[in-house]
Structure 1
Amino acid sequence: MQHSETDAASRPVDGTAVPVTPTGRISFERLRERSDELELLVSGLLVFGLFTVPGRLFDAWVANTLHAEGMAEYAVWFGFAIGTGVSYALATAFLVHIAIRGYWIGLIGLKATFPGGVQWTRLTSMGPVSREHLRARTGDIGEAIERADRLASILFAMSILMALTMAGIGVFAIVLIVLSSLVGAVFGMADRIALIAGGALYAAFIAGAVAMAVCEKIIARREAIGRSSEGPRRVLQQLLRIYAVLVPQRLIGPMQLTLQSNLNGRLFLVVYGLVIVGAMVIGGLQVVNSSRFSLLPGYDVVTSEAVDHGMLGAHYESMRDEHDALLRYPMIPSDRIAETHLRLFIPHQPQRDNPLARRLCPELAAGRNTAEGDAASRLAVDCLARLWTVSIDGTQIPLDGFVPMERRDLGMRGLVGYIPLDGRQPGRHNLALVWNAEGESKGKLRRREYRIPFWFTPQIAERVQRD
């Protein structure tokens, strides 16, 4: 006896009959019976993987954000913030989903073991009033199973919907940044023009969404009084076609509209928006938490101001670790220097140095060092020397002898110099650096001061040589 391919595909291994739709696909009822297993499988695979993503994103962001400027800097930051926030939000949602499904499985096990459910008459430790109250509140175990199943399915669907939405936002942001960068490259002054173009494109996107809502109101009012609404209707239909290309409604619409129409519509939109905004806030907090010692206000004595005028471990290469990755400060090898020369590395940060260099270094062609050979090295030193002031114990140190340096171990470029310590007394000395000494007290180009105390210990080197 021959069977069609559809019949064979729809027949399970255990031999039970499987309902088949007229189109030959397995029926919804059969799929629904397996959806809980699929949900657990997907959640289990994603939850642990998603918790590892923020760390990898942070490492990639730290490694690349230093080298970016302008639109590239914003793009790198946006990608990190979105990726980190979404990863934490989705991982938490899937973890809660697994917990709810575990609760649901436990209820099913109890239902199978005790088909009668709660035996209220045997709860003799409770009075009749308490029993009636709890019975009304908890309901039957079958109802609890239904509630848990419903909640788990809704949470799983909302998690997938949020992931799709954030992916769409990411794609839209990438397209927006690329278009803005192209406009900036065509008209020159790439970063400024790109920012203006990006803002204009985003404003146009928001204006279009507002225009659609306004058109709907106008159409409803005109039709209510019997007037023609052909003009607004054509405008609305054209906007809908445009946004159908920009927003993947075929992908997001089934989930979003089903949830929105079956749940409290306004509450759903509020929660939906808060989750998206919250995901971005989480990414921003990750950045702040990585650059600050602590977000908790518990240091009333040893304050940040006290430490700034004391010692910061990020200034000493021997003390730096992965937590100092965002603290791109001037550095010396250690807090104790036994050699005759002190090595000082001054990092170059394009986001801050480039705008100031364009103003203070007129010899740069269009703000860029286009020289070749030794001239390129000398121009880099001369330009950065105008940005920095270096002194030891109040005596200014010229930067003429510094040279450009690339340090792959730190992922930075900058200037390095070897300051002679001959004639200085053993003990504490204070190395001070000032960036943009004429700058304001606030803003990205504000005056920045760095204090690096160190102890000159030539006796150690002499003892090692004697030994």
Structure 2
Amino acid sequence: MDLPEPFLPETPPTETANEPHQLSDLTSQSWNLELLISGAALFATLSLPDFLDSLLAYYRYNLMTDTDFIHEALPTQTMALIKGGSYFLFGAFLAHFIMRAFWAGLVGLLAVYPDGIRYDQIYNLSQYARKRFAQEMGSLQDYIIRLDRRCNIIFALAFSLVLFLLVIATSYILFILLETILQVLLPPSLYNTVRELVAWILGIVLTVISLTATILNLPKFRDNPRFAPITFQYTKAFSLKPIQYIAYTFFSQIPKQVIKRRLIGILTIFFLAEFSFMVIDLVQGLGASDVLDSRSFMILRAPTKTANANSFDNLRNPGELVDKVSIQADVIREPYLRLFVSYPKLLDAELSKRFQEPNWPVSLSRQERREKRASWYLSVFETYFGVYLNDSLYKAPGFLFTQHVDTGQRGLTTVLITANLKTGRNMLKLTVPDSTNKPTPYCQIPFWYVPEN
């Protein structure tokens, strides 16, 4: 009577008998490629945060249409996730680079001294110390193997965690895009209703997916022959295969409790760092960075008493976007003031509420219609913005459309004559109407006027 063969998982047929040896040769020669990747990644991750900051500034100026949570905080959180991932990668690659370089040095040392550490030949140790070091340290060959494994684990763990974070960041980006599409396609009267409905639907779908995954993962369902195929398909549908290869390798090789402790520790440290990045970005975006400073007799949130370098073309960092308004310098020597008013996308909603474009005659040519529309747009800005030099109001500042030569920002420009300015400190002030059409401060720039003799 033939006994049944034990169950074995199906494996694809091997193409050659030398495939295990090829894999062994590949892994033994991958260290030099790992060093190259780590070095390149160190350079890339250092430059990525600055690129993300400029990308977030571009979004806030050119794309952001509202100041609610989705438009203001969610993009900041997305950038904080990616920035935190880049810093985590930098730390992981730096540790890997150092460890792998040390490993290469030990391999070279072993090539020179094939016997490794001969504890019985160490003359400046006692017999007891030789025995204990031999027990605790082991051979040089074993240490090289352990170090090689740790290098590989760091490499794999860094990529798996960053892929996981990119999935979260991508979901945030898709949510922001959905919100923006709804805002563009729907009229304002219908937008809020549809937005709340979509938010409820997405919340319910995500809750159902999470609860279903939790229930199907219970042992009584997971191990049940009737539900096992469903659980498998569900797990497969909501998993990334590259992460699965790494995660399942760890889960099958490391005890469950050890994995839990390590994951909790790593995720706690990372999300605390990510949360701190998000808070810093929000604080800086709100102009409240001085709350983190401990100086008792200084405040940087009093516009009439603060010289903000961003408001002066000669002091602002090259390429840094103008927050609201800028002039050519903090010390004006010329008999004029060159004024630039930035036009963020966020301003569209406010202007659309207050001003309704006229119905232009159909008989107008395209060029005539464009000229009339441009003149009407400029009159809207001159009505909306009040421009003051000290206490003098410019009733017709003479705005023109422009694109800033340094930052590429679109906005308004004009030249204000400084004939009536006093020598010394002066104040440029722009106001906008509030809900009752009362002028409220929009931006205030203190500057010095020192005319040329």
Counterparts of residues 282-301 of structure 1 (less than 5 Å)? 284=278, 287=281, 297=293, 299-301=295-297
Partner of 2:446: 453
Instruction: Give CA-to-partner distance per residue, 1:30-79, whole Å, 9 cap, x none.
Output: 33323334433432343333333333444444345411024787886566
Identity %: 19
Query: Which structure 1 residue ranges, 5 or more long, are not aligned?
Result: 1-20, 224-228, 366-370, 440-446
Q: How much has 1:159 moved relative to structure 2?
A: 1.9
- Report the RMSD for the aligned CA atoms in angstroms: 4.2
Partner of 1:356: 350
Q: How much has 1:338 moved relative to structure 2?
A: 3.6
Partner of 1:95: 94
**Partner SS, residue 455 of structure 1:** strand
Cα distance in 2, alignment partners of residues 55 and 290 from structure 1: 15
Instruction: Give CA-to-partner distance per residue, 1:305-328, whole Å, 9 cap, x none.
Output: 478613222211122113x82551
Cα distance in 1, alignment partners of residues 423 and 280 from structure 2: 42
Q: How much has 1:218 moved relative to structure 2?
A: 8.5
Summarize the Cα distance change of 1:208–1:286 in structure 2 as closer, same or farther, 3 Å threshold: same
Equivalent in 31, 55, 66 of residue 50 of structure 2: 55
Instruction: Give CA-to-partner distance per residue, 1:325-350, whole Å, 9 cap, x none.
Output: 25513111122334443232221222
Cα distance in 1, alignment partners of residues 160 and 118 from structure 2: 37
Summarize the Cα distance change of 1:287–1:259 in structure 2 as closer, same or farther, 3 Å threshold: same
Contact 2:76–2:278 (8 Å) recurs in 1: no
Query: Which structure 2 residue ranges, 5 or more long, are not aligned?
Result: 1-12, 359-367
Q: How much has 1:94 moved relative to structure 2?
A: 1.6
Equivalent in 304, 307, 311 of residue 311 of structure 1: 307
Cα distance in 2, alignment partners of residues 427 and 308 from structure 1: 15
2:64 is the counterpart of 1:69 = yes
State the AA in 2 paired with 1:62: A
TM-score (norm 1): 0.72
Q: How much has 1:151 moved relative to structure 2?
A: 0.9
2:38 is the counterpart of 1:43 = yes
**Partner SS, residue 326 of structure 2:** coil
Partner of 2:253: 262
Q: How much has 1:103 moved relative to structure 2?
A: 1.9
Partner of 1:321: 317
Counting matched residue pairs gives 414
Contact 1:161–1:252 (8 Å) recurs in 2: yes
State the AA in 1 paired with 2:425: R
Summarize the Cα distance change of 1:386–1:157 in structure 2 as closer, same or farther, 3 Å threshold: same
- Give the stretch that moved more between structures: 102-111 or 284-293: 284-293
Summarize the Cα distance change of 1:51–1:118 in structure 2 as closer, same or farther, 3 Å threshold: farther
Q: How much has 1:281 moved relative to structure 2?
A: 4.5
**Partner SS, residue 201 of structure 1:** helix
Summarize the Cα distance change of 1:123–1:299 in structure 2 as closer, same or farther, 3 Å threshold: farther
2:376 is the counterpart of 1:376 = no
Partner of 2:338: 343
Equivalent in 326, 335, 340 of residue 331 of structure 1: 326
Cα distance in 1, alignment partners of residues 251 and 223 from structure 2: 28
Q: How much has 1:100 moved relative to structure 2?
A: 0.9
Partner of 1:208: 209
State the AA in 2 paired with 1:247: S
Contact 1:402–1:417 (8 Å) recurs in 2: yes
Contact 1:40–1:98 (8 Å) recurs in 2: yes
Cα distance in 1, alignment partners of residues 109 and 155 from structure 2: 24
Cα distance in 2, alignment partners of residues 362 and 64 from structure 1: 25
- Give the stretch that moved more between structures: 149-158 or 303-312: 303-312
Cα distance in 2, alignment partners of residues 72 and 288 from structure 1: 12
**Partner SS, residue 373 of structure 1:** helix
Cα distance in 2, alignment partners of residues 84 and 54 from structure 1: 6
Cα distance in 2, alignment partners of residues 437 and 143 from structure 1: 74
Q: How much has 1:107 moved relative to structure 2?
A: 2.6
Summarize the Cα distance change of 1:68–1:97 in structure 2 as closer, same or farther, 3 Å threshold: same
Partner of 1:119: 119
Q: How much has 1:113 moved relative to structure 2?
A: 3.7
Contact 2:385–2:432 (8 Å) recurs in 1: yes
Summarize the Cα distance change of 1:213–1:327 in structure 2 as closer, same or farther, 3 Å threshold: same
Summarize the Cα distance change of 1:178–1:403 in structure 2 as closer, same or farther, 3 Å threshold: closer
Q: How much has 1:396 moved relative to structure 2?
A: 3.4
Cα distance in 1, alignment partners of residues 127 and 432 from structure 2: 77
Contact 1:427–1:456 (8 Å) recurs in 2: yes
Partner of 2:419: 422
